[in-house]
Amino acid sequence: MTERVRVGLTVNAVQREAWVEPRQSLADLLRDDLGLTGTHIGCEQGVCGACTVLVDGVSVRACLMFAVQARERSVETVESLAGADGGLHPIQEAFSECHGLQCGFCTPGLLMRTKEFLAETPAPSDEEIRSAIVGNLCRCTGYQAIVRSIRDAAERLASENEGSDS
């Protein structure tokens, strides 16, 4: 029953491998086996959103996906956002400047959800932003600043894209 199986997958553009029990979650694979502790585990029942990562570009609850299901898939975690030189991603810059985090526990999930959301909806209204993050709970209740951060991130990404077009 406790047999381990090999899982090969791409995490943040690097090919990784681990031997896991089938019952092990993707979140535990990332944190315990690969040392990527940026992905936080809050409720382990899909409610809080702290463990949100992207799998093949789509946001998922890493606590509700088994590591074996991530075989041959491409996973992006919060560690993928900052540049190799440690420079912050525009979404991270926005959260930092707009005080979009207090204790920071929900932040990794919110950042990854924001990345997915702004790729689909580059110029969102506040209502769209609020609706987009219903699945990410902030126990500090800092939602006003989080909404401002996402709005600011959208503007930063838009001006970055304009820059690259010219």
Partner 1 sequence: MKPAPFSYHLPETVDDLLALTDEHSESGRILAGGQSLVPLLNMRRLRVDHIIDINGLGGLNRVQRQGDTLVIGALVRQGRALADPVVSSAAPLVVEAVGRVASATVRNRGTLCGSLAFASPAGQIPAAVLAMGGGVSVRHVSGDRSIDFGDLFTGPFATALRPGEVMTELRLSLWPSHAGYAFVEVGRARWPVVSAASLVELDSNVVSRCAIALAGVADTPVRATTIERAFIGSVPTDELIAALVRGVTNDLDVPTNIYGTSTYRSQVAEVLARRSLITASDRAGRVAQ
Strand partners, 62: none
Give how far Cα 164 sits from Cα of 11, 74, 107, 124, Å. Answer: 27, 26, 28, 21
Characterise 49 by phi-psi region: left (phi > 0), alpha (psi -120 to 50), beta (else): left
71: which 2 tokens?
A: 């075989």
Q: Which of 11, 60 has the CB closer to partner 1? A: 60
Q: How far is the CB of 149 from partner 1 (least distance, A)?
A: 18
Which of 66, 74, 130, 151 is in the footprint of partner 1 by CB under 8 A? 66
Three-state SS for 163? Answer: helix
Count residues binding partner 1 (CB under 8 A). Answer: 32
Length of the chain (residues):
166
Q: Which of 77, 136 has the CB closer to partner 1? A: 136
Q: Which of 66, 93 has the CB closer to partner 1? A: 66
Q: How far is the CB of 58 from partner 1 (least distance, A)?
A: 5
Does 29 participate in binding partner 1 (rule CB under 8 A)?
no
134: which 2 tokens?
A: 């219903």
Binding site for partner 1 (CB under 8 A): 1-3, 5, 21-25, 28, 44-46, 49, 52, 58-61, 63-66, 68-69, 113, 116-117, 132, 134-136
